[in-house]
Amino acid sequence: MSSCELSRVVITGCGIVSALGMSREKLYQSLLVGNSAVRVMTEWKLRGATGELLAAPVEVSRERLLSLDRKLRRSMAPVAIFAALAAGNAIAESGLSAEDLAACEAGCAIGSTLGSPSAIFETMLLFDKNGLESLPSQQFFKSVSHTAAFNVANAYGLNGALLAPCSACASGLQSIGLAYDEIRLGRQTIMLAGGADEATPAVAGTFEQLFALAHPASGQAAEAAIRPFDAERCGLACGEGAGIFVLEERNHALRRGARILAEIRGYATNASGRQTSQSDAGAIERCLRSGLREAGLQPEDIHYINAHATGTRQGDAAEAVALRNVFGAGVPVSSLKAQLGHTMGASGALEMAVVLEMSRNRLLLPTANLENPDEACAGLDLLRQPRRTSLKYFIKDCFAFGGINAVLVGEVPSDNEG
């Protein structure tokens, strides 16, 4: 490859861990029939909370947990466990063997919001109560911001680039973008990429302090409280899980006869440069246009947008303004967070995995609980019912505290290129 050529980057495997299924097929079907993982966390006790805390927790079976090597589990908190399980499923689908991964430049880029908030909190409690001597030797490795990334690398023998964006709710999508750049620039042949995150009382409490956590209205079920784009939306619920993709240089994938699930056509990320906790419509719009420009596409080429839309008043409105300015009402838009919760650093990858299933089934999923679209979100083709359609070009976007925006443009092949 000459210095001016860029490699094409494809997805050949995808694994997930979610509150509504441990495969993207099961997750998709669960979303399709209207299931929701959001519930009242009666087991969470948080001093100062103004009401019941909602979340969408993941339950990992003992069988799945024991599938991970015991020596590796010693350094794994839930965030790393989620990532390692999802990565294993992604590798299996890709058809790559351990020998394949060892024979080329293969690395990973896996992001999260904090590393493991549960391990960090546990460390603080142990240290405060009993001092340094009480800390297990592996506690640091469970806590660090790159715990998911290095544990996945160790679990699957990856000795290439190891990257771990820690950029709140944009972490997973930024990880995919960084992996895409590593491959198209010729530095790596294969990258495991995506995000993982945990829902904990402390994380939920942060959103509570920012007036962004949803609480059910009187007589309202927990699963009806999260309402992206709706006039009655009142906030989000924390979710957790992981989404991991196998990204691969296209020619390498074709030579080994791999099935191509999608191709990454463009990626962009930017900052508002002026916001801490509020989304900025202008910065989001610039990011969307940059992603389209890199992909060589026009707004009218896009067939579907999987929105970040968490259910907060300001965030959904800012995103809607940006989407309207770029796409008008010409592209179907929906959010999955009413059912999955906001899986934070995992959300970009986990939700993009569902988009691949939408394409395979030729059926777009709507935004659950969207009954009365807010005027501030008008001018978009907001999906309120499943829609039968072919999907080729799609956009997944994510926005995060600190004014961080990320946009990925993907193409799903019309037939199997493998």
Tens digit of each residue's pLDDT (9 = 90 or more) over 65-74? 999 999 999 9
For CA atoms 87, 93, 97, 101, give the dihedral sign: negative
Distance CA(217)–CA(213), nearest Å, equals 13
Domain ranges of the chain: 9-255, 266-411
| Structural contact between residues 34 and 368, judged by C-beta atoms closer than 8 angstroms | yes
> How much is the pLDDT for 48?
59
What is the per-residue DSSP string for 187-254? Answer: S-SEEEEEEEE---HHHHHHHHHTT-B--PPTT--GGGS--TTBTT---B-EE-EEEEEEEEEHHHHH
160, two tokens: 């290439």
> How much is the pLDDT for 416?
42
Question: Taking CA 247 as the corner, what is the angle to CA 180 and CA 400, rounded to the nearest 5 degrees?
Answer: 55
What is the per-residue DSSP string for 260-327? Answer: P-EEEEEEEEEE-SS-SSS--HHHHHHHHHHHHHHHT--GGG--EEE----S-HHHHHHHHHHHHHHH
- Model pTM greater than 0.85? yes
**9-255 and 266-411 share one fold:** yes
DSSP letter at 129 equals H
Q: For the segment 313-358, what is each residue's pLDDT rounded down to a tens digit?
A: 999 999 999 999 999 999 999 999 999 999 999 999 999 999 999 9
137, two tokens: 């030797």
Active site residues: 169, 308, 342
Beta bridge partners of 112: none
Helix (H, G, I), strand (E, B) or coil at 234: coil
CA distances from 26 to 15, 18, 210, 376 (A): 12, 10, 34, 34
371, two tokens: 């009954």
DSSP letter at 224 equals G
> How much is the pLDDT for 126?
82
CA gyration radius, the chain = 20
Fold type of domain 266-411: Peroxisomal Thiolase; Chain A, domain 1 (3.40.47)
CATH number of 9-255: 3.40.47.10
Regions in the chain scoring below 50 on pLDDT: 1-2, 416-418
> How much is the pLDDT for 341?
98
| Structural contact between residues 336 and 228, judged by C-beta atoms closer than 8 angstroms | no
What is the per-residue DSSP string for 41-68? Answer: -TT---TT-SSPPEEE-----HHHHHTS
Distance CA(195)–CA(90), nearest Å, equals 13
Cβ of 199: how many Cβ atoms within 10 Å? 27
